[in-house]
């Protein structure tokens, strides 16, 4: 597994008869751009608060960020993004010349808006239905996939039929960033969940991967063919886990990172198995653990100065209480790895997105996103 190559930080309608010119105009409207010989008409995003861009705003949930200072560096201000600025998905949209994606819960979401893709991610969501439930309403992964499927008929009507829909889905890219809450808001909370008593770390990772596989295959079954599935970051190094584990200054929670490793190793193996079994598709493993680990071990190389505490928050490492409404965040946000107790800063999101786009196989296996975009569909 690639993450073993670094030493852990301080530890560790249109009708079917429409002309091709008209179809081309549709794709331009959707924000699609030609990359070499391939088009990326849309991104479809599934995940948690790392990529949620407002789906939780209308839910009865504690997990919301539609207030200042979230969005302090984003041109629209607070939108429901759990960041001071752009998320990883926003950076990917910039790279592919796509408009920023509408959240699934947007009241104005309609057929033509679907053409650039949709963000289905939901803060506090996990692969398992029960993960994060104590925080209120959220769309778990299976619900996110169902929400995507509910949009397919609209897409078919706008694109002009099944054939065009099939081509559209096959050239679009799925971005899936989920699993952190199955640990932070499930397995690592023995006072609320029994999962750590019922499953060893290895068995729990297997449970998550089996459930994840079901949803990936469900998306494949409707015609999606290009997938980025991100591994988990070293969760023992985020401010909330450093604080919860009472880790010594300058150190991460070693045991948490060890537990996460079982999931990441299994996910990389799963990607290889899926590629072998489904030769009509390409599944990519995003090695988030190694990328974040490199940032933590070599912060100055990326322009970071503060790696062990949040830019916005209260208490030990600014992480005992996360970023509250109208709180005053740090002024030098671009020098912080972590924006709040759980989430990276916009500057880190930009680094991670760039490594996903252009990185070697140690970052994205077997291909990076630009190579994925160029694959025939």
DSSP for 214-238?
HHHHHHHHTT--EEEEE----GGGS
- Burial tier of 229 (Cβ tally within 10 Å: 0-12, 13-18, 19+): buried
pLDDT in tens, 197-217: 999 999 999 999 999 999 999
Our answer to whether residue 220 is catalytic in this structure is no
Residue 377 is predicted with a pLDDT of 84
Predicted confidence band of residue 42 (pLDDT cuts 50, 70, 90): very high
Query: Which is catalytic among the residues 73, 340, 363, 377?
Result: 340
Decide if 124 contacts 61 (C-beta within 8 A): yes
Q: C-alpha angle 296/302/303, rounded to 5°?
A: 105
Helices (H), 222-287: 239-244, 254-277
Question: So what's the pLDDT on residue 9?
Answer: 34
130-145 pLDDT tens trace: 999 999 999 999 999 9
For the chain, give the number of residues.
377
Percent of the chain with pLDDT over 90: 85
Give CA–CA dist 359/355, Å, rounded. Answer: 4
Question: Distance (Å, rounded) from C-alpha 338 to C-alpha 296?
Answer: 10
Q: Can you say whether the dihedral through the CA atoms of 64, 67, 71, 74 is positive or negative?
A: positive
| For range 302-311, the mean pLDDT | 97
Give the 3-state secondary structure of residue 290: helix
Whether the predicted pLDDT of 21 surpasses 60:
no
- 30, 49, 172, 345: which one is catalytic? 49
Catalytic residue among 52, 195, 308, 343: 343
**Least confident residue range of 175-184, 228-237, 247-256:** 247-256
- 52 tagged catalytic: no
Rounded to an integer, what distance in angstroms lies between the CA atom of residue 46 and that of residue 126? 10
For residue 248, the model assigns a pLDDT of 81
The rounded distance, in Å, linking the Cα atoms of 207 and 263 is 10
Mean pLDDT of 12-29: 33
Partner residues linked to 119 by β-bridges: 45, 103
Cα 211 off chain centre by: 17
Domains assigned to the chain = 2-374 (3.40.50.1110)
Cα dihedral value 362, 122, 96, 72, nearest 10: -100
Identify any residues that bridge with 136 across adjacent strands, giving them in sequence order: 61
Question: How much is the pLDDT for 249?
Answer: 82
Tokens of 310: 């949040």
Is there a contact between 238 and 338 (Cβ–Cβ < 8 Å)? yes
Give the model's pLDDT for residue 39. 75
d(CA 146, CA 360): 33
**Dist CA 172 CA 40 (whole Å):** 5
Nearest CA to 187 out of 178, 172, 198 is that of 198
The C-alpha atoms of residue 374 and residue 226 are separated, in whole angstroms, by: 11
Rg of the chain over all Cα atoms, to the nearest angstrom = 20
Banded model confidence at residue 318, pLDDT cuts 50, 70, 90: confident
Q: What are phi and psi of 209, to 5 degrees?
A: -70, -35
For the chain, give the mean pLDDT: 90
Query: Region 103-127: what's the mean pLDDT?
Result: 95
Q: What's the whole-model pTM score?
A: 0.90
DSSP 186: I
| pLDDT score of 261 more than 70 | yes
Mean pLDDT of 220-237: 98
Residue 126 contacts residue 134 (beta carbons within 8 Å): no
Tokens matching residue 102:
């509408």
Q: Quick one: pLDDT at residue 278? A: 98
Nearest CA among 210, 194, 66 for reference residue 130: 194
Query: Would you state the pLDDT for residue 37?
Result: 30
Tokens of 283: 């599944």
CB proximity list for 98: less than 8 A, separation 6 or greater: 30, 31, 32, 33, 40, 42, 43, 92, 116, 117
Residues 266, 206: contact at Cβ < 8 Å?
yes
**Residue 147 pLDDT exceeds 80:** yes
Secondary element (H or E) of residue 374: helix 369-374
Asked whether the predicted pLDDT for residue 12 surpasses 60, the reply is no
Lowest pLDDT segment from 83-87, 260-264, 318-322: 318-322
What are the structure tokens assigned to 60, written together?
């009865």
Q: Is 203 a catalytic residue?
A: no
Q: State whether the Cα torsion 285-288-294-295 is positive or negative.
A: positive
């Amino acid at each position: 597994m690639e993450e073993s190559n670094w030493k852990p930080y301080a530890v560790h309608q249109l009708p079917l008869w429409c002309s091709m010119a008209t179809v081309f105009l549709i794709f331009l409207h959707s924000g699609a751009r030609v990359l070499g010989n391939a088009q990326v008409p849309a991104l479809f995003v599934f995940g948690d608060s790392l990529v949620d861009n407002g789906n939780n705003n209308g839910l009865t949930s504690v997990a919301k960020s539609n207030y200042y200072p979230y969005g302090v560096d984003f041109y629209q201000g607070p939108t429901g993004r759990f960041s001071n600025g752009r998320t990883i998905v926003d950076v990917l949209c910039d790279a592919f010349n796509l408009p920023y994606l509408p959240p699934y819960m947007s009241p104005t979401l309609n057929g033509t808006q679907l053409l650039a893709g949709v963000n289905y991610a939901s803060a506090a969501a996990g692969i398992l239905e029960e993960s994060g439930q104590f925080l209120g309403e959220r769309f778990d992964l299976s619900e996110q996939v169902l929400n995507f499927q509910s949009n397919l008929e609209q897409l078919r009507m706008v694109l002009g039929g099944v054939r065009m829909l099939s081509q559209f889905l096959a050239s679009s890219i799925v971005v899936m960033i989920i699993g952190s809450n199955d640990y932070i808001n499930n397995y690592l909370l023995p006072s609320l969940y029994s999962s750590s008593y019922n499953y060893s770390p290895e068995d729990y990772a297997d449970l998550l991967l089996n459930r994840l596989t079901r949803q990936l295959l469900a998306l494949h079954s409707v015609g999606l063919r290009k997938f980025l599935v991100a591994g988990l970051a070293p969760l023992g190094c985020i401010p909330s886990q450093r604080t919860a584990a009472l880790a010594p200054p300058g150190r991460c929670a070693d045991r948490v990172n060890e537990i996460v490793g079982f999931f990441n190793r299994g996910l990389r193996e799963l990607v290889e198995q899926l590629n072998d079994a489904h030769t009509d598709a390409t599944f990519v493993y995003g090695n988030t653990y190694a990328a974040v680990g490199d940032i933590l071990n070599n912060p100055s190389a990326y322009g970071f100065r503060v790696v062990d505490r949040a830019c916005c928050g209260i208490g030990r490492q600014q992480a005992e209480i996360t970023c509250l409404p109208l709180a005053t965040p740090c002024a030098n946000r671009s020098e912080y790895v972590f924006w709040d107790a759980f989430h990276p800063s916009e500057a880190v999101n930009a680094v991670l997105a760039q490594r996903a786009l252009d990185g070697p196989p140690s970052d994205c296996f077997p291909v990076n996103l630009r190579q994925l975009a160029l694959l025939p569909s």
